[in-house]
Amino acid sequence: MTSSAGRNGPPSRRTQARESRQQAIVAHVVANGVATVTELTELTGASLMTVHRDLDELARQGVVRKFHGGVSAQPSTVFESSSEYRLRVQTAEKEALANAALGLIEPGMSIMIDTSTTNLFLARKLGDLGLGPLTVVTNYLPAMQVLRSMQDIHLIGVGGDYNTTHDAFLGMSAIEAVAALTVDIVFLSTSAMTASTTYHQEPDIVTIKRAMMQAGQRRVLLMDPTKLERTALHRLAPTSEFHRLVINEGVDDRLVADLREQTTVVVAPPR
């Protein structure tokens, strides 16, 4: 998402305020199922016109469903899968996770990144490593667009059936392409995890992530705080099948201890 400060610059205060307001709206609508426009103006302190603009944008993204006088929540699979929406949530935390992930990459490596927006933060940083040539494999279109012009990056784009919601290539063709490769590290994220198990709400995403796990000699899981101590419909894999789990500071000590019984945990400091 391009801010008024430019594609690579920090977002403006107006952009930050809008994104914070829209996240508050989504959280309220999801928690309550429906909400009136009047209710949301009181919640955010914004004008009626501003809230209508926010709702129009969120409806366009498929996050909420707008009706006369209010909005209702779309099914969780819609807003949790929307790449455009996910790019605006937990941005500081994802930035910290990406910085920690950079420390695991060495010159000449081949890496694979999935459709998680955390991995887009990682992709944006790869050109600054100065590690010499890297091979990067991905099925995530925004990552391809970032990586295609980076010097010393050999990009392998995984094709397949294009999925608008995820802005990525999925399906059997993508799975077969991934299965034909072996990379040094695969970086993944997923929508939910407990101490023992990782989950995702969509079977198509589960199958491509499992194929990626098989392709990686090392598997690294990047998880922001919103994804911890949650479950979703489909089990992806046991936590113990990941060689490293990267999380943010501030996670409950009890949970961290439980996670460390399953895998090596790396705590990413703030930016």
Give 59-117 pLDDT, tens digit per residue. Answer: 887 778 888 878 876 555 444 555 556 666 678 899 999 999 999 999 899 999 999 99
- Summary mean pLDDT of the chain: 87
User: What pLDDT does residue 13 have?
Assistant: 79
User: What pLDDT does residue 83 have?
Assistant: 53
Greater confidence (127 vs 74) lies with 127
Which H or E element spans position 144?
A: helix 141-147
Predicted confidence (pLDDT) at residue 5 exceeds the cutoff of 50: no
Predicted confidence (pLDDT) at residue 131 exceeds the cutoff of 60: yes
User: What pLDDT does residue 271 have?
Assistant: 72
Q: Does domain 91-268 have CATH number 3.40.50.150?
A: no
pTM, two decimal places = 0.74
- Fold: same for 13-74 and 91-268: no
Residues in the chain: 271
CA distance 4 to 15: 7
CB 248 within 8 A of CB 93: yes
What tokens were used for 209?
């992530």
What tokens were used for 8?
């690579």
What tokens were used for 117?
């927006």
Predicted confidence (pLDDT) at residue 2 exceeds the cutoff of 70: no
Report H helices in 148-201.
Answer: 171-179
The DSSP bridge partners found for residue 162 are 169
Identify the three-state secondary structure at position 57.
Answer: helix
Q: What angle do CA 20, 66, 49 make, to 5 degrees?
A: 55
User: What pLDDT does residue 88 have?
Assistant: 62
Identify the three-state secondary structure at position 58.
Answer: helix
User: What pLDDT does residue 27 have?
Assistant: 77
Across 4-8, 140-144, 146-150, 205-209, least confident range? 4-8
Greater confidence (49 vs 75) lies with 49
What tokens were used for 189?
């994220």
Predicted confidence (pLDDT) at residue 258 exceeds the cutoff of 70: yes
Predicted confidence (pLDDT) at residue 3 exceeds the cutoff of 80: no
User: What pLDDT does residue 232 have?
Assistant: 86
pLDDT digit string (tens) for 140-175?
999 999 999 898 999 999 999 999 888 899 999 999
CB 244 within 8 A of CB 213: no
Identify the three-state secondary structure at position 106.
Answer: coil
Q: Where are the domains of the chain?
A: 13-74, 91-268
CB 71 within 8 A of CB 39: no
Alpha carbon 65 to its chain's center = 22
CA distance 207 to 141: 18
CATH of domain 13-74: 1.10.10.10
